[in-house]
Structure 1
Amino acid sequence: MQARIYQPARNAMQSGNAKSNHWVLEFAPASARSVDPLMGWTSSADTQAQVKLSFDSKEAALNYAKDHGIAAIVQDPKKRKPNIRPGGYGDNFATNRRTVWTH
């Protein structure tokens, strides 16, 4: 039984980093999915593929995997550079602007 430990990416529709500070342990599928001939739905006999465990830190997830004999692969997140402007959003409406502000 193999699993991967990763930190989920932020929502693409939001600029903040909320709900992306936890770590997830997710099991790799042990068997391939099959297509139901009548309805066309995909299914699998592997119930571990449905399990996602959430942890507060990477160390907690690694300790859980070690204690339960789970071979885990850690995928470290790619950190992005923060986009902080010197004036910020309020600078768009400052009364002492020297340039014309247009859309």
Structure 2
Amino acid sequence: MSLPRVAVNSLRAAARPAVSYRTPTLVRCAGGEARNPSEAREVTSPNEPPAERAGRAGTWSAVRTQEGAAEGQPRHAPDYDVAADNMTSAFSPVPMRVQDGSEPGLDTPAAVLSGAPTDLQARTVRIFRPSKTATQSGDWHSHTWRMDWDILSKGHRWENPLMGWQSSADYMQGTHLNFKSKEDAIRFANKQGYEYFVQEPNERRITPKAYATQFVHSPKKLKQVRTK
């Protein structure tokens, strides 16, 4: 190698900034020897409360609050930091409040033991009483109250272009529950943590017609009531 090339390489090496490999502070402290044994005991003791270790340098601190989940998060604001499980996706709804057993009341929330997906608590259900069909079928199904799940926004509904089959990513589509009364349905929704709204039925009042109604006296103009 010629002398000018060696000189150029030396100048390049001198101009290049030196790379500094710094060891993380936590690793260096863990690998080194402590000056005082009591200091090492204070840092590594697992039985000491976090509040007592908060004021020392190199230790972590935790702030504990006594407020419940309902006071810490507004009801109208979803909790975007909720722990996602294996059933959540990009279009899954975010619950306003996750049931963890700290809810007021004597009843334990069902979500603590049911194992249902977390995003199911963010769904809205509709409580209504089905109306009688327009056909000559009976009205037995209109005696009970029904609960079904509201349409999931961004459910990615798709249709097969060949056969016309339709489906969606909403696993609660087409699912409904029947209850004997409206109060039972509301109690179930509160137990599961669902947001709900009630649709009262529109009942028609059918006045029976009779031929004798034509001869009933009334101070108004003479009336004629047809039976057919």
Partner of 2:145: 23
**Structure of higher CA gyration radius:** 2
Structure 1 regions of 5+ residues with no counterpart?
88-102
CA apart distance, 1:21 = 1.0
CA apart distance, 1:19 = 2.5
Partner of 2:4: none
CA apart distance, 1:66 = 0.6
1:61 lines up with 2:185 in the alignment = yes
**How many residues align structurally?**
88
What's the TM-score once normalised by structure 2's chain length? 0.35
Alignment counterpart, residue 169 of structure 2, candidates 16, 41, 45: 45
* Counterpart-to-counterpart distance in 2, 1:14 and 1:27: 28
Aligned partner letter, 2:136: Q
Is 37-46 or 63-72 further displaced after alignment?
A: 37-46
* Counterpart-to-counterpart distance in 2, 1:15 and 1:35: 32
| Structure ranking higher in strand proportion | 1
1:70 lines up with 2:172 in the alignment = no
What's the TM-score once normalised by structure 1's chain length? 0.74
CA apart distance, 1:86 = 3.6
Runs of 4+ with >6 A deviation: none
1:3 lines up with 2:113 in the alignment = no
CA apart distance, 1:33 = 1.9
Q: Percent identity?
A: 35
